[in-house]
Structure 1
Amino acid sequence: MNIAWKEMKKNKARFLILGSIVFLVSLLTLIISGLANGLSQDNAALIKDLPDGQFYMTKDSDQTYTLSKIDSNVQDKVLAKEKDAAAFSIQMGFVNDSADKQQSVVFVTSTESELFENVKKGEIVLDSSMKDKGIKVGDVLTNNQYSGEFTVKGFVDQKKFSHAPVAFINMEDYKEMYRTEEMQMLFVPGEDSPQTVDGLQAFSKKEFLDTIPSYSAEQMSLNMIVWFLVVISGMLFAIFFYMMNVQKIGLYGILKAIGVKTSALFKMMWTQMLFITVIALSLSIALSQVFNKIAPEGMPFHLTPDTTVKLSIVFLIIGFIGATLSGMQIKKVEPLQAIQQGEV
């Protein structure tokens, strides 16, 4: 332990460079992870906020919710059997505000359920982001496909789908607008394993999210970047400590000759790795949380403590693996041969 501290004091510049690189990589990883989570919420908060359960679509819809149409008889049977279940539909659209300006929304309707907003005919409940467009409670909105008018009855927080604000409307209004009598999906909360329903295919929440093309492609790209940065950090540790070990072959030989065990040399290297990583991670976490607070309101940035802790643990594990792999050469050092080479 003392040797580790003494070496770090002696070679401050080397370890400062490594610490700076780890800090920058970990900060970038946390920020991209926050953006990935923020975009995930902005893309599918409506679905992600639902409890765990099973989604059902028709088998012939080819896993596309817009093509799914649940038979009314099947729907009635499932709803009668599962008291907390709900049938719902999602459809892209728009509303005209009081200035006759079109605002893009996602219309959502459902059977009576605590999982969705229940609104009366002619009423509409919007995502709170619509307040920024100047829409207020009591405003009257119209839609070219609807013969009547919508009265804004309230707002809900963080209800987005496909990066558009959700607009909850009555089921009868939805059927008039989209000329349909069938609902698109069934949702049964709390089911660990799906039940068999004739003509329907079951999806867990994660599986259903993966059927949304924009969601799966977006998250896959961002997650690949995150894990690529994690791998880079591991390679940096391996390369840095490998170069350090090469330069200290003679020193290791002398230490082994006077009775220092190989395990003690590994502990020295792990101590240095842990010290550098903890400091770099602490700084990057602090800055990422500051960014989380000061990020522009329109930026979909959402970095949770859970994500931060998981990534920090991954960085520590990767750093440990990288340092250990680079230290394998320590085991092969022969004292006499290393001493003869001299310390570089």
Structure 2
Amino acid sequence: MQLAWKEMRHNWKKYLLVEVIVILMMFMVIFLSGLVKGLGRAVSSSVDNMPADRFILSDDSEKILTVSNLTPDEYTAVQNKYKDKATPIDVQRTYLQKGNKGDKQDVTYFAIDPDGFLSPKVTQGKKLTTEKNTIVLDDDFESTGIEVGDTIEDSASKIKLKVVGFTQDAMYGHIAAAYMSTDTYRAIMKAANPAFQNTVHGAALKGKARGAIAGTKVYTKAAVIKAIPGYQAEQMTITMVEWLLVAITAMIIGIFFFVINLQKEKEYGVLKAIGVPMRRLVGMILCQVITIAASGALIAAALTAGMSAALPATMPFFLEAQQVALVLCAFVAISVLGSLATVARVGKIDPASIIGGDFQ
């Protein structure tokens, strides 16, 4: 360790240069990690935040909430089996507007039982109740000028809805969510389409499934999230780029140490000749690699965390401590593996040829 620090202090300009490169590259990697999580939550946070473990959907739904359709008999069977452990859920993308001349805004309705466990926590106003034609919006709608107490209009049915509260981090398919009672939702759907039937898309379930119900299948929350259209393709693409950048950044450290140690073969030969054991030389190299990689990654993480506080609320960015820690650990591990080429090169140095003057 002491030998490693002495060498780094002596050639501080070279090591500072690679440290700056590591910080910049890892800043980009961690920022991209935040975008991956942010975009993922923009697709799924309304479902991900639900205190549900599983969802009961129709057996032909392909795990997609908006495609599922439970008949009254099927949902009655669900209620009889699970009691208060199951609650209805409907998901419908539509438009709403503030006033007759207001611009139409995309929204995803979540129709729920206000007395059930899916009722969202509110950050402003009051919780959703069974009161007719009331709605709780994601706080993204605040940026459009909508406030608690305002009256908005469902564009399809022209039914007026009173905003009673705001919740946060409720998105579905990159569209802000809105919560209403199942009765209000059915009134809207019947006004827009008189042929609408009183079915539900599915049921959210707490706990484990207990046996099969004809015409239905039980899926985990993770499976339902992955089935949201566009979720997997989006996540896989950006995640692949993220890990590619991690590997490239680690390779940069490996190449740097390989080149810089090529220039020090005489010094390594002399150290071997005077009896410095190979394990000490290996320890020096690994200590330098870990120091550069870990410190650069931690500085980059701190810079990214600081910058995230200044990003606009509408930007899909979310730093998850567990994911950042995984990226940092993987980066340090790959950097150490990349340095093994340097270790192998140093191990092949023959002190006799160095002392004898045969060094090329």
> TM-score of the superposition, structure 1-length normalised?
0.91
Q: What residue identity is the alignment partner of 1:71?
A: T
Q: Equivalent residue of 2:85, what SS?
A: coil
Q: Matches of 2:53 and 2:252 in 1, distance apart?
A: 42
Q: 2:107 aligns with which of 96, 105, 110?
A: 105
2:118 aligns to what?
A: 115
* Higher alpha-carbon deviation: 130-139 or 58-67: 58-67
For these two proteins, the number of residue pairs brought into alignment is 343
Question: Are 1:98 and 1:139, in contact at CA under 8 Å, matched by a contact in 2?
Answer: no
Shift of 1:215: 1.9
Residue 182 (structure 1) aligned with residue 165 (structure 2): no
Residue 277 (structure 1) aligned with residue 293 (structure 2): yes
Q: What residue identity is the alignment partner of 2:47?
A: I
In the TM superposition, 1:194-205 aligns within 5 A as: 195-205=211-221
Q: What residue identity is the alignment partner of 1:186?
A: A
Shift of 1:227: 0.6
Shift of 1:125: 1.2
Shift of 1:331: 2.7
C-alpha change, 1:184 and 1:126, in structure 2 (3 Å) is same
Question: Are 1:252 and 1:338, in contact at CA under 8 Å, matched by a contact in 2?
Answer: no
Q: What residue identity is the alignment partner of 2:153?
A: T
Q: Matches of 1:134 and 1:99 in 2, distance apart?
A: 15
Question: Are 2:36 and 2:235, in contact at CA under 8 Å, matched by a contact in 1?
Answer: yes
2:311 aligns to what?
A: 295
Q: Matches of 2:266 and 2:219 in 1, distance apart?
A: 61
Question: Are 2:55 and 2:218, in contact at CA under 8 Å, matched by a contact in 1?
Answer: yes
1:40 aligns to what?
A: 40
Q: What CA deviation, in whole Å up to 9, does each residue of 1:106-136 have, x standing for no partner?
A: 1110234122344432111111121221112
Question: Are 2:64 and 2:224, in contact at CA under 8 Å, matched by a contact in 1?
Answer: no
Shift of 1:246: 2.5
Q: Equivalent residue of 2:60, what SS?
A: helix
1:309 aligns to what?
A: 325
1:151 aligns to what?
A: 162
Question: Are 1:36 and 1:223, in contact at CA under 8 Å, matched by a contact in 2?
Answer: yes
Q: Equivalent residue of 1:67, what SS?
A: coil
Identity %: 27
Question: Are 2:247 and 2:331, in contact at CA under 8 Å, matched by a contact in 1?
Answer: no
Q: 1:170 aligns with which of 167, 173, 181?
A: 181
Q: What residue identity is the alignment partner of 2:109?
A: F
Shift of 1:229: 1.0
Q: Equivalent residue of 2:246, what SS?
A: helix
Q: What CA deviation, in whole Å up to 9, does each residue of 1:49-81 have, x standing for no partner?
A: 123612232222233332210122222222333
CA RMSD of aligned residues (A): 2.3
* Higher alpha-carbon deviation: 48-57 or 256-265: 48-57
Q: What residue identity is the alignment partner of 2:79?
A: L
Q: What residue identity is the alignment partner of 1:113?
A: G
1:330 aligns to what?
A: 346
Question: Are 2:54 and 2:204, in contact at CA under 8 Å, matched by a contact in 1?
Answer: yes
Q: Equivalent residue of 1:136, what SS?
A: coil
> TM-score of the superposition, structure 2-length normalised?
0.87
Q: Matches of 2:34 and 2:338 in 1, distance apart?
A: 25
Residue 81 (structure 1) aligned with residue 81 (structure 2): yes
- Structure 1 or 2: larger helix share? 1
Q: Matches of 1:304 and 1:341 in 2, distance apart?
A: 56
Question: Are 2:159 and 2:188, in contact at CA under 8 Å, matched by a contact in 1?
Answer: no
Shift of 1:341: 6.3
1:319 aligns to what?
A: 335
2:193 aligns to what?
A: none
* Higher alpha-carbon deviation: 5-14 or 27-36: 5-14
Question: Are 1:92 and 1:106, in contact at CA under 8 Å, matched by a contact in 2?
Answer: yes
| Structure 2 alignment gaps of length 5 or more | 121-127, 190-195
2:27 aligns to what?
A: 27
Residue 266 (structure 1) aligned with residue 282 (structure 2): yes
Q: What residue identity is the alignment partner of 1:224?
A: M
C-alpha change, 1:325 and 1:52, in structure 2 (3 Å) is farther
Q: What residue identity is the alignment partner of 1:138?
A: G
Q: Equivalent residue of 1:42, what SS?
A: helix
Q: What residue identity is the alignment partner of 1:104?
A: D
Question: Are 2:43 and 2:228, in contact at CA under 8 Å, matched by a contact in 1?
Answer: no
Question: Are 1:52 and 1:204, in contact at CA under 8 Å, matched by a contact in 2?
Answer: no
Question: Are 2:353 and 2:359, in contact at CA under 8 Å, matched by a contact in 1?
Answer: no
C-alpha change, 1:35 and 1:194, in structure 2 (3 Å) is farther
Shift of 1:195: 4.7
C-alpha change, 1:339 and 1:183, in structure 2 (3 Å) is farther
Q: What residue identity is the alignment partner of 2:90?
A: S
Q: Equivalent residue of 1:114, what SS?
A: coil
Q: What residue identity is the alignment partner of 1:11?
A: N
Q: Matches of 2:236 and 2:47 in 1, distance apart?
A: 18
1:247 aligns to what?
A: 263
Question: Are 2:94 and 2:108, in contact at CA under 8 Å, matched by a contact in 1?
Answer: yes
Q: Matches of 1:150 and 1:123 in 2, distance apart?
A: 5
Q: What residue identity is the alignment partner of 1:208?
A: V
